Copies of this chain bind each other. A is one copy, B any other.
């Protein structure tokens, strides 16, 4: 039988792969479990879509060997209801860590929460999907007392969601949120339209970013703007706007109309250079005003508007001066007045994303520990 004063952790998601959050998180969890005497953090379940390792009597899995054991495990995978049932019957408090970007798992959150299972996750899907799923999630936490934290769903480990919630919970009013919310877009525009120098051709910068691993395997998944739209949806909803979905507001796609029908990412990358003049025009137009172009997201609470797309910025503007693949998020509020509260730094990467997940874990432990 499991010891009494423990908190059980279940992890769903790929545990391997360069830059992956899974492996980084497991390492951070291990370090935390070693450091904290109480409550004891024990792993009871770790699984991917094809492999699973769990203890039917909730006895702790060995965190040092669990990845090897998972690789050779012959245990039958559980469907989502099966996982909910297994975790719901645990003899201790449970935290389910969803390190996937899976839509089906996200849609199952209300069932986990209704059974008192706490959730932490970098998965954007649950909070940027349909508005009814959003409401179901918070209703379930309200009814069961289970907690859900998702700091890493926006800006990875940067304290974006916790800061926004602190502002609101302490009684401030958000007037505007503005920023660069994608490491990929940041990297692309910092090279394509740098503050100093001419910058490269658009298609070449996209190619370079893809080769360096800054884009998704298919760069169209970044260039369509949906990733940024999802993050804006989350922040807008927390701020009080009942945004219906990430496609219910204006999102500018950087995929040329003529290339929308490409059947593969490779075909897209091959044809992209033919459309370099479009982006070149945008850059030149900004340069004429002494400005640079950036791909930003904006939430204007006064007119209840959410917008994602290209905008021009003065070269001295913090958004123009961004470096590498950094994110920047500016919170304009009633209390902070004209000068916003700004958070800036790396917004992607396995280690910093896992950091957001682990700091959420520490917050859940305040509740359940």
**Contact surface of A with B, Cβ cutoff 8 Å:** 27-28, 31-32, 157-159, 162-163, 166-167, 169-172, 195, 316, 318, 321, 323-324, 326, 335-346, 351-352, 354-355, 358-359, 362-363, 366-367
Contact = CB atoms under 8 A, between A and B. Distances in A.
Given A341-B346, A366-B366, 16 more contacts: A32-B170, A32-B171, A157-B170, A157-B335, A159-B162, A170-B355, A170-B358, A170-B359, A172-B355, A318-B321, A326-B339, A335-B355, A337-B346, A342-B342, A343-B343, A344-B344
A335 B352 contact: yes
Chain A residues touching B, majority SS: mixed
A367 B365 CA distance: 9
B341 A341 contact: no
B362 A166 contact: yes
A342 B322 CA distance: 11
Given A28-B170, A321-B316, A345 B351 contact: no
A339 B348 CA distance: 12
Contacts of A335: 157, 351-352, 355
Contacts of A170: 28, 32, 157, 354-355, 358-359, 362
A346 B339 contact: yes
A354 B171 CA distance: 11
A366 B166 CA distance: 13
A359 B318 contact: no
Nearest to A366: B366
A52 to B, nearest CB: 26
A92 B362 CA distance: 25
11 contacts: A31-B171, A32-B169, A32-B170, A158-B341, A167-B355, A169-B359, A170-B354, A170-B359, A323-B339, A341-B345, A343-B344
A28 B366 CA distance: 23
A-B pairs, top 8 by smallest CB distance, nearest first, are A341-B345, A342-B344, A170-B358, A366-B366, A166-B359, A335-B351, A170-B355, A31-B171
Q: Which of A31, A166, A172 has the most CB of B within 10 A?
A: A166
A324 B339 contact: yes
Contacts of A31: 171
A244 to B, nearest CB: 26
A367 B335 CA distance: 27
A302 B337 CA distance: 38
Contacts of A342: 342-345
A235 to B, nearest CB: 16
A259 to B, nearest CB: 32
Contacts of A166: 157, 159, 355, 359, 362
A87 B180 CA distance: 48
A335 B24 CA distance: 11
A101 to B, nearest CB: 21
Contacts of A351: 335
